[in-house]
């Protein structure tokens, strides 16, 4: 058994920051990638070992888990059936004697048995692998990835949540918290609900983006069915469109308004504000 940390989703919204923070802490990192050819800067500039890995290819598990002691686990959004898509890897991790999994789950998952994140939490518990569950609110970075085109090309925020508020959190903060949990031995079998320090509605988000980008950004607040149909029409896979629609229905029911002090406690500072995030990611929407 080695002392390496396997980071799944290492090129993603959170994973890239987990890798960066772990390297800064002197950890021995294995960055899992589905395709070596798709590894672009900035992650390929980081000093770590890259390993080809795919949840749907059990033949990649052995090499990925070699000398690994702890795992940062992200569910790829397109994998909607955890028992089929994720359980084989979790069983392989258990067989290897993995000492700790830090899994990025979802705000309010303890009250929502339907979402894939909850099923994965239950699997990890059932397998009795020591865990830390990070349950973040919506990522600020969703607006510079998933919704980037809406803002950049259409000057709109297109999500069906009415006046409900969201306690957005920056994925840079989640990455730092995850790295801390992986290198400190005080987070076993704990679940943390991670939010920013305030909840804002999408009208406020549109105002902040308007100010930062110096052009009018409008929150269009479509009907839920129109939202789903438009996503599919624009090329989103049906399963992913369904997951997104369900998440926004939950948001509309005011499930994303909760603000906790847990992120601040774990970061030992205030979480990054939405305004700061928008300033830092301005280039994404220009």
In a domain, 24, yes or no: yes
In a domain, 124, yes or no: yes
In a domain, 249, yes or no: no
In a domain, 284, yes or no: no
Q: Are 191 and 265 in contact (CB under 8 A)?
A: no
pTM above 0.75, yes or no: yes
The Cα–Cα gap between 280 and 150 comes to: 18
In a domain, 87, yes or no: yes
263 confidence band (pLDDT: 50, 70, 90): very high
Domains of the chain: total: 1
In a domain, 219, yes or no: no
pLDDT higher than threshold 90 for residue 105: yes
In a domain, 13, yes or no: yes
Q: 143-186 pLDDT, tens per residue? A: 999 899 999 999 999 999 999 999 999 999 999 999 999 999 99
Whichever domain contains 183, its CATH number is 3.40.50.720
Segment 222-241 mean pLDDT:
92
Q: 122-151 pLDDT, tens per residue? A: 999 999 999 999 999 999 999 999 899 999
- Give pLDDT, residue 43: 60
In a domain, 33, yes or no: yes
Which stretches within 194-236 are classed as H helix?
202-213, 224-233
Residue 108: left if φ>0, alpha if ψ -120 to 50, beta else—which one? left
| Structural domain containing residue 52 | 4-136+170-193+260-266
């Amino acid at each position: 058994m080695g002392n390496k940390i396997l980071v799944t989703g290492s090129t993603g919204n959170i994973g890239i920051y987990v890798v960066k923070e772990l390297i800064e802490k002197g950890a021995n990192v294995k960055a899992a990638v589905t395709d070596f050819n798709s590894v672009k800067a900035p992650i390929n500039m980081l000093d770590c070992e890259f390993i080809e890995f795919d949840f749907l290819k059990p033949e990649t598990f052995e090499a990925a888990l070699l000398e690994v002691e702890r795992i940062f686990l992200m569910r790829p959004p397109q994998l909607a059936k955890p028992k089929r898509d994720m359980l084989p890897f979790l069983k392989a991790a258990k067989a290897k004697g993995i000492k700790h999994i830090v899994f990025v789950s979802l705000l309010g998952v303890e009250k929502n048995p339907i979402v894939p994140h909850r099923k994965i939490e239950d699997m990890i518990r059932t397998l009795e692998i020591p865990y830390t569950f990070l349950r973040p609110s919506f990522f600020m970075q969703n607006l510079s990835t998933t919704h980037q085109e809406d803002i950049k090309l259409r000057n709109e925020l297109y999500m069906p949540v009415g006046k409900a508020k969201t306690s957005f959190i920056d994925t840079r903060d989640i990455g730092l918290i995850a790295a801390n949990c992986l290198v400190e031995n005080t987070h076993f079998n704990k679940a943390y609900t991670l939010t920013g320090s305030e909840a804002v509605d999408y009208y406020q988000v549109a105002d902040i983006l308007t100010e930062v980008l110096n052009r009018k950004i409008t929150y269009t607040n479509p009907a839920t069915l129109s939202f789903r149909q438009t996503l599919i029409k624009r090329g989103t896979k049906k399963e992913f469109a369904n997951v997104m629609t369900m998440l926004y229905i939950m948001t509309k029911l005011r499930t994303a308004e909760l603000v906790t002090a847990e992120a601040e406690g774990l970061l030992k500072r205030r979480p990054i504000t939405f305004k700061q995030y928008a300033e830092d990611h301005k280039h994404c929407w220009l």
